[in-house]
Amino acid sequence: MTFKPILIVCGEPNSIFLEIFFKIIKYKKFKTPIILICSYNVLMLQMNHFNFRKKINLIDQFNLKFEKLNNDRINLINVDYHVTKPFENISVKSKKYIANCFLTAIKIINKGYTNKLINGPVSKKHFLNKKFPGVTEYLSHISKSKPTGMLIFNKQLSVCPITTHYPINSIAKKISKKLIIEKIILINNFYIENFDFKPSIGITGLNPHCETTKKYDEDEKIIRPSVKFLKRKKINISGPYPADTIFMKRNRINFDVIVGMYHDQVLTPVKTLFEYDAINITMGLPYIRISPDHGPNEQMIGLNKSNPTSLLKSIEFLDKR
């Protein structure tokens, strides 16, 4: 059986990504062909740095023939980016290169060759700047897809933040009934389409203990009415629950997904529970996009000590699909 290939945009060239990719393909075999989209120059320099040996199969993006691909070699679509050493400091220098890698992947997906995309980490400061809060919103923009949502997925428990990479002092203004309802419907549809069941969803409040001394109470005015509306739509949701207790063992076992109002409210506990055993899935795109749940990790670049589990789980999720 032939599977549509997995495209991997390697992201920021000055990161741990290729190191962990080398670790995975050295020991793990996948049925689905994997195609890297990155610089041949960067790839060779980092292969030499890590003393990793594997032949490279250069693919012409304008003359694609994927049906006979396998993973005996590194299948590569080269995007030009010239450097003289394997690693540099992360800067705005790589911004255009990373954008070209993403655009190359989207063109291939739009032509119907595949519907599977993994991307390595990027610098939100240098690549996304202030235009997009995260890669989720960036891909939503270039793929012309709205709404989208971030699902940090683990088989035992997944989480979804209603708002993503926003400063804490702007979160209350970003939350709305419309946004909550959109995200919950995305989650419900994703689980039905990919796992054939309706998930049990718990939603947190915004304020500590779902209480506030302010005149305007977001938990009562926005979140609770949204839950009531979604229940009428036959979605298995309950809450709002206090964020400081919903992740306790006796509580979290009741849910497949816990939805929070902001990024760290749900990502901090799920990373504490599962560490690298979680992947970032963008819901709502016309293809499946996954990212390992970690950043470029400048402190670990070149040291060959990084944990590859999240990238491994990302590839395994798409393998044989």
- What average pLDDT does the structure give for the chain? 93
For 123-163, write each residue's pLDDT tens digit: 888 898 777 888 888 998 988 888 899 999 999 999 999 99
- Which of the two residues, 32 and 63, has the higher pLDDT score? 32
Residues 106 and 142 sit within 8 Å (Cβ to Cβ): yes
Assign 116 a pLDDT band (cuts: 50, 70, 90).
very high
Distance CA(239)–CA(237), nearest Å, equals 7
Q: What is the pLDDT of residues 152-174, one digit of tens each?
A: 999 999 999 999 888 899 999 99
Count the residues in the chain.
321
Beta strands per DSSP E along 98-200 = 116-119, 149-153, 158-161
Give yes or no for residue 54 having a pLDDT over 90: yes
pLDDT in tens, 225-237: 999 999 999 999 9
Place 103 in a pLDDT band, splitting at 50, 70 and 90: very high
Nearest by Cα to 110 from 137, 143, 77, 141: 143
Question: CATH says 149-278 is which class?
Answer: alpha beta
Q: How large is the average pLDDT for residues 264-293?
A: 93
Domain with CATH 3.40.718.10 in the chain: 1-145+285-321, 149-278
pLDDT given at position 64 = 84
Q: Kindly report, residue by residue over 16-33, the tens digit of the pLDDT.
A: 999 999 999 999 999 999
**Structure pTM?**
0.91
Q: Which two tokens stand for residue 148?
A: 């989208």
User: Is the pLDDT reported for residue 2 higher than 90?
Assistant: no
Tokens of 90: 């992360």
| Residue 1: pLDDT band with limits 50, 70, 90 | low
Tell me what the mean pLDDT of segment 82-109 comes to.
94
Distance (Å, whole) CA 293 – CA 278: 6
Q: pLDDT-based confidence at 320, cuts 50/70/90?
A: confident
Cα–Cα distances in Å, from 50 out to 18, 44, 72, 89?
10, 10, 19, 18
List pLDDT tens digits, range 170-219: 999 999 999 999 999 999 999 999 999 999 999 999 999 988 888 889 99
Residues sharing a CB contact under 8 Å with residue 166, sequence separation 6 or more, in sequence order: 133, 174, 262, 263
CATH architecture assignment, domain 1-145+285-321? 3-Layer(aba) Sandwich (3.40)
